[in-house]
Structure 1
Amino acid sequence: MLTGKHLRCIFFLSLALAAQAATTMWFNSTNVIPLGNGRLGAQMLGQIPDEVVILNEDRIWSGSLNDPNNKNCAVSLPAFREFVWQDDLYHAQATADAECMATPLSQQMYQTAGNLSIVTPHTGVITSYNHSLDMATAVSTTTYVYEGVQYTRTAFASHPDNVVVIQMSANSTGSIAFNASFVTPMSIPTFSANGENLTMTGQGTGMFGLQGSINFVVTAEFTATGTNAQVKANSNGHPSVLISNADEAVIVLAIDTNYVRYDDISADPNEKVVQTLANVRGKTFDDMLQTHVEDHSSLFGRVDISLGVPSTATFLPTNLRIKFPQGADADQDIFALYAQYGRYLGIASSRNTEASNLQGIWNSVLSPAWGSKHTVNINQQMNSWFAEPLNVAETLDPLWTMISEVAERGVATAQETYNISRGWVGHHNTGIWRDSSPIDAAFYGFWPLAPAWLLQHMYEHYAFNPDPESSFLKNTAYPLMKSLSEFYMDFLVEAPLDVEPNGYIVSNPSMSPEHGIGNYNDTNVSLTYGKRTSPLLTFN
């Protein structure tokens, strides 16, 4: 007979299982598992015998700082607006394309640092494979059995220690052996191996006519334990580090750049990497793991989500759980997992340096989709929606910095694009260089209202903590809102009475982002003016 004590135990066990179902992802085959400390990103693929760890640092971008503002726009704007009043939207959009878009037309791209290759001798049959991510601790674990020995790879990206850490271990002494090397597609790479260190340097590529200027350094420091363990640097051919006969091996990775801020790239990346590694040298793997878990769980552990009783489907591999056509009827907690994964990605990709970009922080190529930029006509907002209601508001701090720096550059864009001397403006994309000009094409980019939507996050941040004396409100949010509002006041124009008989003051240009409003001369157009169905402002 079940007693009250038994029922309570069952209840709390079900809660624990539900929490685990909402915070654990695992796969029975190779799959990307993203790790990040806000600045550094690592993708653990879980491959055997040749593991690949894709590495990122959030300030490795192509190109360099330039002045992209089109000086013809302010002169051409009256003609553009007249085309809009006449409903000649084809020539309006053509005028904006010809006279108002940035130079170069495309913005720079977020790029990869490169890969760490870990080659093991495990070329035979693999059994008992499990590749998992515990989001509650932000630790990735890959386990498998090869020739009767169980091998484990444990990895995390530590925010306090500023490094990526990978541990290779086994349940049999002297079993750890691998060869590690770097590879990168970036410009002017160098590779070296010395003692227990492996180092790669590179530079962001030139793109769209602008020379690459972000220099970076990646260093991996190897330690191994065991009676006969060896760590040997190999400088013949492509430099590498060989580990053999070890009970356990630990790889500590540090990455840094010359970036200080968009207008200052004077830092010494090697000096920063050397200091980072010196700060953790002497710490054990367990020391770094404990520090990391305590830091991460202080943010992630604020919210538990459970949407139902675990089912037989709940503890299947995640790659199977996401494919059930029955949705919530088969696995209610899959939606809790989605929500917690969103929180996890925000913590992992947006802390202290750059805001999460189109791919968070994880990118393996030189030219990712849409440049992996900060797209502020919807995607940047989407990245931030979970932060306030799901209690990780600190992950928005880099967004406030990014907006503030875009506003610095946006003062010149307001003047040179719209002939407006008050306030600042941005458009539908920005990046590490904080460009604020319209890019890509007028259909997408000639939209100066993106910052208003973006600043809604600042209002929400205040609404969740409405302290009128806060430094955030006084020094960041209010000044940015005030100066942007001043720009918009000067940006509004009176619509002709034959267009709007009530004499409305409207925005021109305006659009619904990336939504065409019809074909004009067989061209899809999006630009028009901000029509109202009721008066907003009128001239007397």
Structure 2
Amino acid sequence: MQRSGSPYVLWYPRPAAAWLQALPVGNGRLGAMVYGGIDSEELQLSQDTVWAGGPHRYDNPRAAAALPRARELVFAGEREAAHRLLESDVMGVPVQQMPYQTVGSLRLAFDAPGGGSGEATGYRRELDLARAVHTVEFVREGIRHRREVFASAADQVIVVRLSADAPGAVGFTASFDTPMAATALSPDGRAIALDGRGGDASGVAGAVRFRALVRALPAGGEVSSADGVLRVSGADAVTLLIAVGTNHVDWRDLGADPAARALGDLTEAAGRPYPELVERHVADHAALFGRAALEIPATPAAALPTDERVAAFGDGTADPQLAALYFHFGRYLLISCSRPGTQPANLQGLWNDLTDPPWGSKYTININTEMNYWPAGPANLLECWEPLFALLHDLRVTGARSAREMYGAGGWVAHHNTDLWRGTAPVDGTTWGMWPTGGAWLALAVWERYRFTGDAGRLRDDYPVLAEAARFFLDALVEDPGTGHLVTCPSISPENEHHPGPGGTLCAGPTMDNQIVRDLFGAVDAAAGVLGLDEELRGLVRAAADRLPPMRVGSRGQLQEWQQDWDADAPEQGHRHVSHLYGLHPGAQITRHTPELFEAARVTLEQRGDAGTGWSLGWKINFWARLAAGDRSYKLLTDQLTPERTAPNLFDLHPPFQIDGNFGATAGITEWLLQSHGAELELLPALPGALPEGRVRGLLARGGFEVSLSWSGGTLTGAEIGSRTGATARVRTAVPVTVTRDGAEVAAERDADGVTVFATRAGEVYRLTPHG
């Protein structure tokens, strides 16, 4: 195979033998896992609205009557009784939300050249992240075969191109295979279709209908289709177009025609020749992917196949460029599974081969969904954030019912999970689900995006999501009879026990809740100020914020997870969730400017240890970066990039696969290079010693800046800061810098703390050069 020359390539010398060896392509809505077989090929297909069940309300009608008594029991320390009451009268109906489901697979069985079955030589399969094209090449019986696959957002189809360097050498049969309730058929002589339905789950009837449609466009040869089997013989090359449509319009409406949708996408794409399809796809993808790049010098290990690189990295082989490849793979995944108009990235992003995947592959909003979008701002993929905001507007509606009917409160609420049907009631059981702060955490994305963009128009559009999330807590917070503070109750600190046994997670005012609600109230105050709105609400949230419990340092020097100093006796000392460090990351309540809390956060991480699931390691990478401990942060990436935590295709393993670890680590890598959470830009705040040389371009910073920088010997050698909003730049560097624009020096002042301050103009780029 002709090598792409790009360092952003995953490659393997053999076909995939399992799903976690196959490689992902996706256009946000439609995805495939490609195996790259020789005699046969499998494209396992996913579509983001194929879910079990149908429009459904999970709210428990007994909740409003039960919650006052549950609060009394929690405050009295009668946790087991509170647990029983919440299980029976507050948990959602049904208690499990609906799972995301697979479409099935398109399987190709290839004709043997000349009727023979000789060995294939020169085999290579690769995924070029910069072009988002999967390619297989090999030679068999003297004929070179090339197979390309990509998922086009520009044309809303998956495209498969099969070619050979000898005429008439492409032949195969194609058919669908699925675990879903479905029927295969041949709608015409060049196409096959699969009509299916989402499954029933927890007593909710499956209501999503889908059609998968494949059409062959051959160069030469013959094509026929009958009884759901497509046959191509003697072709020089073939383009297969794959489209999937469903009846899903939104969480309330299943009135669309899946067959018409699939046919419309396929027909439009079929009007374009293959070179145009490729060109449109690559241009669309590159417009996002090309905005940022991380370059790290390669060592000899970088020449190994990708799975061998991971195995060697886990054994201690020096391969710093693997961190850069992992960064680019994370950006590739976000582009591929989250685009404007699609569903948000779920627990597996977009890719799923099961009818009941782990944890339903839902939206777990006590960390996992939020983590999926941590790279969107700093890694310069703001458009990929859009599906989360669409989800928030839906949850504002469904969550208002839950707030009103369960809590007797205004505003809106969501607990620790949601699904395609936008459930907002607590689910899965009290131990996990009795957490009313998931919606608030998600809503903070509204203010976070404004901090990156300065876009007041978008802030105005989304402000009701933020304001009404705060109104819920103004109504639902209750006074702790022991302290007088306003607290959430009943609640939990996800998903950790402070005492063993039933009710051992239940509490009032856990530290994470207080941090999130404080951030929410602060964001509403700031956003309303920007927009000139809601002076009364601003006063209410400021007053309520003053009554929230403060963060406390416990007897072991740790940041307390609960109001009470229970940490030392909690059953799981190494619990995967470190929820009370939300204030360190992604929040900014714990910084170098709060030294006692900063040290308590470090002590907490030391006591929790470095073990964890894939996503937990991803979060800890960010924690240690915020603590300016780059080597410790890098060590956790090396723990993650092992065969136990990273699949051969670089998917993160919980285990099993969850995509949040990929996105968490991607965000953590940006935190090594640039931090902007503390009202300043800090360059190379946590650069690991393992990355002494490199450069990065296109990272975004809060305040409306785009940053590129280079370093050598672990020291900054130069930076460029583009100003998008004209805000004053405050830049922290380890060494003094000179600031220039278009070659002319710019007036700047450096304070005693190492922060250089200078005025900017929107659209201008400023060069920072170290001196002294």
TM-score (norm: length of structure 1): 0.90
1:537 aligned residue (547, 551, 556): 547
Q: Aligned equivalents of 1:531 and 1:183: distance in 2? A: 48
- 1:245 offset after TM fit, Å? 0.9
- 1:312 offset after TM fit, Å? 1.1
Q: Aligned equivalents of 1:118 and 1:415: distance in 2? A: 53
- Are 1:504 and 2:493 an aligned pair? no
- 1:285 offset after TM fit, Å? 0.8
- Are 1:209 and 2:203 an aligned pair? yes
TM-score (norm: length of structure 2): 0.64
**Aligned residue in 1 for 2:612:** none
Q: Aligned equivalents of 1:225 and 1:452: distance in 2? A: 55
**Aligned residue in 2 for 1:6:** none
Question: CA 1:462/1:144 → structure 2, altered by over 3 Å: closer, same or farther?
Answer: same
**Aligned residue in 1 for 2:225:** 233
Is the CA contact 2:289–2:332 (under 8 Å) kept in the aligned structure 1? yes
**Aligned residue in 2 for 1:198:** 192
- Are 1:183 and 2:180 an aligned pair? no
**Aligned residue in 1 for 2:393:** 404
**Aligned residue in 1 for 2:254:** 265
- 1:117 offset after TM fit, Å? 0.4
Q: Aligned equivalents of 1:223 and 1:316: distance in 2? A: 36
- Are 1:528 and 2:507 an aligned pair? yes
**Aligned residue in 1 for 2:100:** 110
Higher relative contact order (CA closer than 8 Å, sequence separation 6+): 1
Is the CA contact 1:193–1:241 (under 8 Å) kept in the aligned structure 2? no
CA deviations over 1:88-142 (Å, ceiling 9, x no partner): 1122222111110011110011111111000013454222111110010100001
**Aligned residue in 1 for 2:533:** none
SS at match of 2:303: coil
| Percent identity of equivalent pairs | 35
Question: CA 1:38/1:78 → structure 2, altered by over 3 Å: closer, same or farther?
Answer: same
**Aligned residue in 2 for 1:255:** 244
Q: Aligned equivalents of 2:510 and 2:326: distance in 1? A: 38
Task: Give the letter for the 1:180 counterpart.
Answer: A
- 1:446 offset after TM fit, Å? 1.1
SS at match of 1:313: helix
Q: Aligned equivalents of 2:101 and 2:272: distance in 1? A: 31
- Are 1:130 and 2:140 an aligned pair? no
Q: Aligned equivalents of 2:388 and 2:101: distance in 1? A: 19
- Are 1:491 and 2:476 an aligned pair? yes
**Aligned residue in 1 for 2:415:** 427
Q: How many residues align structurally?
A: 505
Q: Aligned equivalents of 1:328 and 1:342: distance in 2? A: 22
Task: Give the letter for the 1:234 counterpart.
Answer: A
**Aligned residue in 1 for 2:294:** 305
User: Where in structure 1 are there 5+ consecutive unaligned residues?
Assistant: 1-15
1:267-282 aligned at under 5 Å gives the runs 267-282=256-271
Task: Give the letter for the 1:101 counterpart.
Answer: M
Question: CA 1:70/1:387 → structure 2, altered by over 3 Å: closer, same or farther?
Answer: same
Greater shift, 432-441 or 143-152, is seen at 143-152
Q: Aligned equivalents of 2:373 and 2:189: distance in 1? A: 43
Q: Aligned equivalents of 2:235 and 2:250: distance in 1? A: 42
Is the CA contact 1:517–1:524 (under 8 Å) kept in the aligned structure 2? no
**Aligned residue in 2 for 1:165:** 159
Q: Aligned equivalents of 1:345 and 1:514: distance in 2? A: 27
Q: Aligned equivalents of 1:166 and 1:325: distance in 2? A: 33
Q: Aligned equivalents of 1:221 and 1:82: distance in 2? A: 63
2:30 aligned residue (23, 31, 40): 40
**Aligned residue in 2 for 1:174:** 168
- 1:193 offset after TM fit, Å? 5.2
User: Where in structure 2 are there 5+ consecutive unaligned residues?
Assistant: 516-544, 550-772
- Are 1:221 and 2:215 an aligned pair? yes
Q: Aligned equivalents of 1:326 and 1:365: distance in 2? A: 29
Task: Give the letter for the 2:368 counterpart.
Answer: N
Task: Give the letter for the 1:375 counterpart.
Answer: T
Task: Give the letter for the 1:491 counterpart.
Answer: A
Is the CA contact 2:183–2:196 (under 8 Å) kept in the aligned structure 1? yes
Question: CA 1:325/1:353 → structure 2, altered by over 3 Å: closer, same or farther?
Answer: closer
- 1:186 offset after TM fit, Å? 1.4
SS at match of 1:323: helix
CA deviations over 1:307-365 (Å, ceiling 9, x no partner): 2x211111211011111246786211101111111110100001121111111100111
Q: Aligned equivalents of 2:343 and 2:548: distance in 1? A: 41
Task: Give the letter for the 1:530 counterpart.
Answer: G
CA deviations over 1:184-234 (Å, ceiling 9, x no partner): 2112434325211111110101111111111111110101113xx111213
1:246 aligned residue (216, 232, 235): 235
**Aligned residue in 2 for 1:473:** 459
- 1:145 offset after TM fit, Å? 1.6
- Are 1:293 and 2:298 an aligned pair? no
- 1:451 offset after TM fit, Å? 1.3
Q: Aligned equivalents of 1:457 and 1:515: distance in 2? A: 25
Q: Aligned equivalents of 2:383 and 2:448: distance in 1? A: 13
- 1:79 offset after TM fit, Å? 1.2
- Are 1:85 and 2:75 an aligned pair? yes
Is the CA contact 1:328–1:334 (under 8 Å) kept in the aligned structure 2? no
CA deviations over 1:256-290 (Å, ceiling 9, x no partner): 11111111110111111222122122311111000
Task: Give the letter for the 1:321 counterpart.
Answer: R
Task: Give the letter for the 1:504 counterpart.
Answer: H
Question: CA 1:252/1:169 → structure 2, altered by over 3 Å: closer, same or farther?
Answer: same
**Aligned residue in 2 for 1:119:** 109
**Aligned residue in 2 for 1:3:** none
Task: Give the letter for the 1:53 counterpart.
Answer: L
2:378 aligned residue (379, 382, 389): 389
Q: Aligned equivalents of 2:249 and 2:355: distance in 1? A: 22
Q: Aligned equivalents of 1:527 and 1:538: distance in 2? A: 18
Q: Aligned equivalents of 1:282 and 1:466: distance in 2? A: 41
CA deviations over 1:363-386 (Å, ceiling 9, x no partner): 111111110101111110111011
Is the CA contact 1:193–1:240 (under 8 Å) kept in the aligned structure 2? no
**Aligned residue in 2 for 1:415:** 404
**Aligned residue in 1 for 2:673:** none
Task: Give the letter for the 1:67 counterpart.
Answer: R
Q: Aligned equivalents of 2:151 and 2:382: distance in 1? A: 20
* C-alpha RMSD over aligned residues: 1.9
SS at match of 1:52: strand
Q: Aligned equivalents of 2:329 and 2:316: distance in 1? A: 17
SS at match of 1:314: helix
**Aligned residue in 2 for 1:58:** 48
Greater shift, 126-135 or 524-533, is seen at 524-533
- Are 1:334 and 2:318 an aligned pair? no
- 1:466 offset after TM fit, Å? 1.4
SS at match of 1:322: helix
**Aligned residue in 2 for 1:10:** none
Task: Give the letter for the 1:525 counterpart.
Answer: G
